[in-house]
Structures are given as C-alpha cells and as structure tokens.
C-alpha cells in the first residue's frame, strides 16, 4: 500500500505522474525499508543513479538525496538501477528494476500496485563514494570565469577552464 501524501509530494515536485516516477518512488520506499531510515538531512545517505530519468525526482523528494548536497551522484549507464549507501551504518546495496511481465499496459499502475520487493533485484553496490569535497576556484585566463580547480587545466602557464582549452589529439588534425 502506497503513502498517498508521499506520492503527491513526488508528483508535485516532478510536475506530472508517470511510470518512471513510480519506479523511483518504489525504489526510494524499498531503500528506506532496507536502510531503516527515511530522509537524509545531509550526506549520511547517498544515491548513485544510473540514469537521469523521472524516477530520480522521487528519490530526491523521498530520501533527501540531491546534487547540491553531493549525495545524489550520476553514473550514467541508461539502466533503471540505483545504488544506496548509508555512511552511518556502512550498509549499501544496488536496486535493479526487474523486467516487466508480459501484457502490462499501464506501467504506472503496475509499479504503484506492486510490492516494491517484487519490482527490484537487490544486488551488491560498488564501493562507497567519497564524501563531497570543496575545491578552490581559479579564474580562467580566456573567459575570465571562476572555475573549480578539478575542472581547470594549466596551459602554457595559464589557468584555463575546460570550455577554453583545445583538445589535444594527434590523429585528428
């Protein structure tokens, strides 16, 4: 049985209801159940999403994972898979969406009416990601914009952002 208030919050944040949002909603519910925690106020809960589809919005609303806090990361693989990490308990796992049964026409209804334990396979997660870091910023010598040091390159003694450097390729002249 789904929590109608939580589903409505997800739909309001996302802007509409759809099968993809329902996948993320159920993944977030399953993760909360497996981890024994609901919402991450800081970085104690981390999610690595393998897609940038609708379901990610439900994970943000339900679990408090966000790009800005550094606890929502993307490992783009085009898969309906989400890895969850609890930094306090050390627990982690990966949820992979199972194939749809033959004949399912209304995916949103199917996902919302199914037990989340039947929707996903629980697998081992990759090692824990590092905590978010703060980086110094440098002014790009070309465009003048401040850029974090991990995205800046030293070219002929000048700091340049990735948008202002020429790619070095000896084969495509």
> What angle is formed at CA 57 by the lines to CA 54 and CA 60, rounded to 5 degrees?
155
For the chain, residues classed under CATH 3.30.1330.130 are 4-123
The domain over range 4-123 is classified in CATH as 3.30.1330.130: yes
What is the DSSP pairing of strand 72-74 with strand 45-49? parallel
Q: Model confidence over 27-75: pLDDT tens digits?
A: 999 999 999 988 988 889 999 999 999 999 999 999 999 999 989 999 9
By three-state DSSP, how is residue 70 classified?
Answer: coil
What are the structure tokens assigned to 106, written together? 């209304």
Query: 134-173 has which fold?
Result: Wheat Germ Agglutinin (Isolectin 2); domain 1 (3.30.60)
Output the pTM of the full model: 0.83
Instruction: Give tens-digit pLDDT for 125-158.
Output: 988 888 778 899 999 999 999 999 999 999 999 9
DSSP class of 57: H
pLDDT at 1: 66
| DSSP-assigned states of every residue in 26-76 | HHHHHHHHHHT----SSSSEEEEES--STHHHHHHHHH---TTTT-EEE--
**pLDDT exceeds 90 at position 2:** no
How buried is residue 53: exposed, middle or buried, by Cβ count under 10 Å (0-12/13-18/19+)? middle
What is the location of CATH 3.30.60 in the chain?
134-173
């Amino acid at each position: 049985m789904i929590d109608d208030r939580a589903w409505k919050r997800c739909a309001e944040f996302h802007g509409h209801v759809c099968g993809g949002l329902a996948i993320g909603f159920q993944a977030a519910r399953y993760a909360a159940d497996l981890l024994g925690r609901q919402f991450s106020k800081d970085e104690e809960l981390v999610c690595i999403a393998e897609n940038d589809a609708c379901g990610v919005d439900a994970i943000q609303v339900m679990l408090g994972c966000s790009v800005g806090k550094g606890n929502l990361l993307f490992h783009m693989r085009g898969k309906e898979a989400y890895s969850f990490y609890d930094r306090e308990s050390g627990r982690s796992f990966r949820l992979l969406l199972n194939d749809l049964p033959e004949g399912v026409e209304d995916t949103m209804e199917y996902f919302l009416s199914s037990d989340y334990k039947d929707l996903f396979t629980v697998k081992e997660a990759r090692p824990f990601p590092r905590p978010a870091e703060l980086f110094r910023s440098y002014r790009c010598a070309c465009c003048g914009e401040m850029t974090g040091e991990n995205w800046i390159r030293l070219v002929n003694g000048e700091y340049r952002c990735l948008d202002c450097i020429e790619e070095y390729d000896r084969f495509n002249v």
